[in-house]
Amino acid sequence: MGKNKKIIIGAGIAVTITVIAVVVCILIFGSEKKKESTVSPTTTVEVETTTADPNAGKTRSKLTGEFIDSKKVNKRPVALMYNNIINAIPHSGLDNADICYEAPVEGSITRIMGIFENYDKVKKMGSVRSCRIYYCAFANEWDAIYSHFGQSKYALSYLKSGDIDTISSLKGEKYFFRTSDRVAPHNCFTSGANLKRAIKDFKYRTDYKKGYQGHFQFADVNKKIDLQTNKVAKKVVLGYLINKPWFEYNEKDGQYYRFQYGKKHIDDQNKKQLHCSNIIVQFVNYKLYPDNKSLDITLNGTGKGWFITNGKAEKITWKKDKQKTGQTKYMDQSGQEIKLNTGKTWICILGNNEKSNFKIKKK
């Protein structure tokens, strides 16, 4: 076979192959297009999507049950004593507290202790007032560093015992400052920066103690505790005689908003009204110390109280084994420890002889 003839045959074969390939492509793609054209325009195609977890890198707070940065979840809280006489208000920085304890002191006035998880950037906190021994017990329940300015003589020995870490005037006044907007002793304040500096200066432990598991139990994530009771709690009148505080329930956000001295209880640092998700009322026995004015409150043993959340209230009992250490457990009527809704909690300590002043109202 001649050379030219071979070339012609080879070219013919190549052309044939090319034509066949084009035809095959037309058939394949034409078929696919035909299939696509027969798909109903209302056909729904499921597409797998991945939604970012909004709580990635976060852990539930031991104080509120809310998700916070996992790096901060073991940060030891600070407990700060707040003056609550009318000359000491408005309060500063108390809206940042995650837990609040309110209890009577001398002359039926109350003091408030805020427990703070995130206080670093709070510029003004107070006014700060003096310690009472039972507030040491409250602070210990949360493994908190306890800050105050002044103290009852009945608390002095315990404050010096080394059994509680404190930031107080006993260790120097440089961590506090005075303001000119009110008269002494109601003008003493501190700040988050001052508290951090004191913790560093005193070399206090900055994480929870080993084995600390928290205090409260909280509802499951994205769920709300709905108490199995018919007791509606739209207004809670605490019954303290001087400041006459009460809470009003807001159904829209599930929060109880606080009032005292006849008006909204406002934080002057952000102009917000104080509020919480949960209220615990704990009835206790107390007597007077030998000075006939300082209260000696019994916090160990057992007693009764109320748990109020999500617009309802139920009777509870409480128990505690040791007066100054350990944790108070709050139990429902079946004997199970109560579960709280996520958010802030206000714990109110009332004398058994003051039960008649406490009211839960439907509206």
In a domain, 35, yes or no: no
| Full pLDDT tens readout for the chain, 363 residues | 444 444 334 444 443 444 444 433 444 444 444 344 444 444 444 555 556 777 888 999 999 999 999 999 999 999 999 999 999 999 999 999 999 999 999 999 999 999 999 999 999 999 999 999 999 999 999 999 999 999 999 999 999 999 999 999 999 899 999 999 999 999 999 999 999 999 999 999 999 999 999 999 999 988 999 999 999 999 999 999 999 999 999 999 999 999 999 999 999 999 999 999 999 999 999 999 999 999 999 999 999 999 999 999 999 999 999 888 889 999 999 999 999 999 999 999 999 999 999 999 998
Assess if residue 148 is contained within a domain.
yes
Residue numbers of the domain that contains 152: 58-361
In a domain, residue 32? The reply is no
| pTM attached to this predicted model | 0.85
Provide the domain count of the chain.
1
Element (H, E) at 318: strand 312-320
As a whole number of angstroms, the distance between CA 188 and CA 186 comes to 6
Asked if residue 328 belongs to a domain, the reply is yes
- Per-residue pLDDT, 50: 58
Predicted local confidence at residue 85, as pLDDT = 96
| Any domain includes 335 | yes
CATH value at residue 110: 3.50.90.10
- Give the pLDDT score at 55: 82
Does some domain include residue 327? yes
pLDDT at 287: 95
Tokens read off for 98:
């995650």
List residues bridging with 116 in a β-sheet.
78
- Is residue 53 one of the residues assigned to a domain? no
For residue 225, which of 278, 276, 304 has the smallest C-alpha distance? 278
* Residue 279 included in any domain: yes
